[in-house]
Amino acid sequence: MHTHPSMNTASLFETESLRKRRNRMRRILDALHTRFPAPECALLHENPFQLLVATILSAQCTDERVNMVTPALFSRYPDAVAMAAAPVEDIADIIRSTGFFQNKSRNIQSCGAALLERHGGEVPRTMEELTALPGVGRKTANVVLGNAFGVPGFPVDTHVRRIANLLQLTDSDNPEVIEQHLCAITPEEEWTDASHLFILHGRATCIARRPRCAECPIRPHCPSAP
């Protein structure tokens, strides 16, 4: 059974040097790259605006579910201009199955309006400008920066948070702290791919309730492995 670092007297995170942790991360990423040679964003999108909206929708929801509702949403409201003018109730009806649909529909409509007012309808390319938009936190901003604009970012979702803790690459449950810990041991140009690799690993092998440790490609580097 997996153990959380806090259950140990001294976690590997506390005792491992930064150099050793960087080397271990290198081996982890190499092994995951072998398992997943072409990591990419699972959210279907054709442009930065669609990715931004899809990522807002993905909060507390699977990417598969988001991909089921976005085609209808984007065919009706393809850009910031259309989304800003959309009735919130109409957006809510389309995205209902993603959960928290009332909050999300308000955020998406407000986000469209903010893009129009502040950025001429275009999605901005900086963390500061993105996180100032309604419904956009660091995770969403990092997804957009990394996947739409090629700006390195390390989005920390539930898979990344869980796996980083199991690997004892962090000792925190705070996504911003985890992001700092992971960025410190990962080459900057690999941040976006590294996040994808952790997510893919979390879906395929290191499944929260039934981890497949026997077939795990990074088991030799995991202090939580049985």
Amino acid in position 6: S
3-state helix/strand/coil string of the chain: CCCCHHHCCCCHHHHCCHHHHHHHHHHHHHHHHHHCCCCCCCCCCCCHHHHHHHHHHCCCCCHHHHHHHHHHHHHHCCCHHHHHHCCHHHHHHHHHHHCCHHHHHHHHHHHHHHHHHHHCCCCCCCHHHHHCCCCCCHHHHHHHHHHHCCCCCCCCCHHHHHHHHHCCCCCCCCHHHHHHHHHHHCCHHHHHHHHHHHHHHHHHCCCCCCCCHHHCCCHHHCCCCC
139 classed as catalytic:
yes
| Residue 20 falls in the annotated catalytic set | no
Of 30, 90, 104, 157, which residue is the catalytic one? 157
183 burial via Cβ count (<10 Å: 0-12, 13-18, 19+)? middle
Per the residue annotation, which of 139, 171, 173, 193 is the catalytic one?
A: 139
Annotated catalytic residues are 139, 157
